[in-house]
């Protein structure tokens, strides 16, 4: 018999790092989206419609700008400010619907609208703080902006699922994302790059002189589809992070909606 001691056991990575998998997040996102694609996109379109109408009225449109009709930047800020509340309501509805599907239920827009109205102010606060912190980080350097975005990656779904206030939602996200932010950065690139390329593709098509109405319809149709996908994606990421860090399963997730 050998007298050599057994090799030391390899240290196991923290549960959150080993259990949180990029592929699982993406596959579950596509699964939920595919089950209720029409309902999710319809909600995204309805609550993005005010922005579409305002941009059309004031001429604040990236497609029109690409075709040589730039608008006053001040009008763009005004239109964005007027449209954001509607988009926040739509995003909360889709997030709540994604949680319902994750828990084995069904996305019911009427129920999700009630949740959106009750969570509107905290969700708007999360949106505003995330935007400000991210912009400050980008203005300092691109890297701090990316770090800040990864820290607050799931603040919005935390606000919806756990009924937290704006700042507690940001702190909750910071806790959940600790140790997995490189994975979240990779996820960010996976969803940002295709969306950005397609968006630039529509702008380039407009510069080529294609019919503006057709390009605008295609552009906004893509925007609706992509907005719904993003909201579901962040909801799934939150659920996976919480399960990885704290062992919350879908049954426990449903308790926050009872």
Domain annotation covers residue 158:
no
Is 207 part of a structural domain of the chain?
yes
197: in domain? yes
Count of alpha carbons within 13 Å of 17, Cβ hemisphere only? 9
173 closest CA partner among 119, 242, 105, 222:
242
Residue 142 falls inside a structural domain: no
Where does the pLDDT of residue 248 fall: very low under 50, low under 70, confident under 90, or very high at 90 and above? low
Domain membership of residue 152 (yes or no) is no
Are 102 and 24 a contacting pair, CB within 8 Å? no
At 42-53, the pLDDT tens digits run 999 999 888 888
* Residue 101 to residue 34: CA distance in whole angstroms: 11
Query: Domains in the chain: how many in total?
Result: 1
In a domain, 170, yes or no: no
Residue 199, in any domain of the structure: yes
Contact 66, 203 (CB under 8 A): yes
Residue 215 · residue 206 · CB < 8 Å: yes
Structural domain that includes position 239: 23-119+179-257
At residue 208, does pLDDT exceed 50?
yes
pTM (global) more than 0.95: no
Task: Note the pLDDT of residue 19.
Answer: 73
- Percent of the chain at pLDDT exceeding 90: 45
């Amino acid at each position: 018999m050998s007298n050599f001691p057994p090799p030391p056991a390899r240290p196991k990575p923290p549960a959150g790092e080993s259990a949180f998998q990029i592929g699982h997040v993406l596959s579950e996102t596509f699964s939920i989206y595919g089950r209720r694609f029409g309902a999710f996109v319809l909600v995204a379109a309805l609550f993005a419609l005010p922005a579409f109408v305002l941009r059309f009225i004031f001429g604040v449109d990236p497609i029109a700008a690409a075709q040589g009709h730039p608008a006053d930047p001040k009008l763009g800020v005004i239109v964005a400010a007027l449209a954001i509340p509607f988009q926040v309501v739509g995003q909360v509805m889709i997030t709540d619907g994604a949680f319902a599907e994750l828990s084995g239920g069904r996305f019911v827009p009427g129920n999700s609208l009630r949740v959106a109205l009750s969570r509107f102010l905290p969700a708007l606060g999360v949106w505003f703080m995330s935007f400000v912190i991210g912009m400050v980080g980008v203005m300092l350097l691109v890297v701090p902006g990316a770090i800040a975005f990864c820290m607050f990656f799931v603040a919005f779904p935390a606000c919806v699922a756990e009924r937290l206030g704006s700042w507690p939602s940001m702190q909750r996200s910071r806790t959940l994302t600790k140790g997995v932010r490189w994975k979240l950065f990779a996820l960010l690139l996976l969803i940002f790059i295709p969306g950005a390329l397609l968006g630039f593709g529509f702008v380039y098509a407009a510069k080529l002189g294609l019919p503006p109405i057709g390009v605008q319809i295609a552009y906004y149709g893509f925007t609706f589809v992509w907005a719904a996908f993003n909201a579901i994606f962040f909801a799934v990421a939150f659920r996976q992070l919480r399960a990885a860090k704290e062992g919350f399963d879908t049954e426990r997730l449903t308790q926050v909606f009872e």
